[in-house]
Amino acid sequence: MKNDLMLRLEELTNEVCRDQGVSLYDIGLKNAQKGKILVVYITKIGGVSLGDCQQVSIELGNMLEVEDLIPERYFLEVSSPGLERDLRLKKHYVSAINEKVKITYNREGHNITSLGTLKEVLVDHLILDIEGEEVAIFFTDIKKARTYFDYKR
C-alpha cells in the first residue's frame, strides 16, 4: 500500500511525464547515507533518450521544489528501466508482451525459474511460451520477474 507521499509523488511525476511525451514506468523513494533518493524510471515507444531524462528531471525537480514534498535533503534520478527491467505491476507485464522474460514462481511448494516469451496477460495469470509449450502462471505465485536480454546474440 502506497502512503500519501508516494501517491502525490506519483501523481506529479505522471503529470510531468505526460507533458514530456513519456510514460512513468516506476517510481521509488530510497534512503541512502547522503539523504533520500527519488528514483524515476520512464519509458517511451522507440526508447527513452538522454534528453527525455533531462527534461523530466528539470520539470519534476522544479515541481518538487514548489510543492516541498520531501523536506529533508534528496536527490532525483531519472532514467529508463533498461533492457532487463523488473516486472512488478500488471502494466509492466503488459508492456513486455512478446518479449523474453525470466520468471521465478511457486508451483506446488517448489520455486521454479523459467525463461520464455510472454504471450498474454490476463486478469489473474499470464501465459508464458516456454519452447513451444504454453504455461499459465498465476500472479499470486510469482516471486520475481524481469525482462531478459540475451547478450550472447
Q: Are residues 52 and 24 in the same domain?
A: yes
Closest to 64 (Cα-Cα) out of 8, 2, 19: 8
Domains contained in the chain, number = 2
pLDDT tens digits for 98-127? 999 999 999 999 999 999 999 999 999 999
72 and 94 assigned to the same domain: no
pLDDT, one tens digit per residue, over 61-107 is 999 999 888 888 899 999 999 889 999 889 899 988 999 999 999 99
Under a CB-based contact definition with an 8 Å cutoff, are residues 26 and 41 in contact?
yes
Tell whether 152 is covered by a domain. Answer: no
Please tell me the distance from the alpha carbon of residue 16 to that of residue 59, in angstroms, as a whole number.
Answer: 7
Please answer whether residues 63 and 109 qualify as being in contact, where contact means their C-beta atoms are separated by less than 8 angstroms. Answer: no
Question: Do residues 63 and 15 share a domain?
Answer: yes
Same domain (yes/no): 10, 73: yes
Last residue of a domain, one of 79, 112, 129: 79
Reported as half-sphere exposure (CB side, CA atoms, 13 A), residue 38 has a value of 21
Query: Could you tell me the three cell numbers for 150?
Result: 540475451
Give residue 72's domain range. 4-79
Q: What is the pTM of this model?
A: 0.76
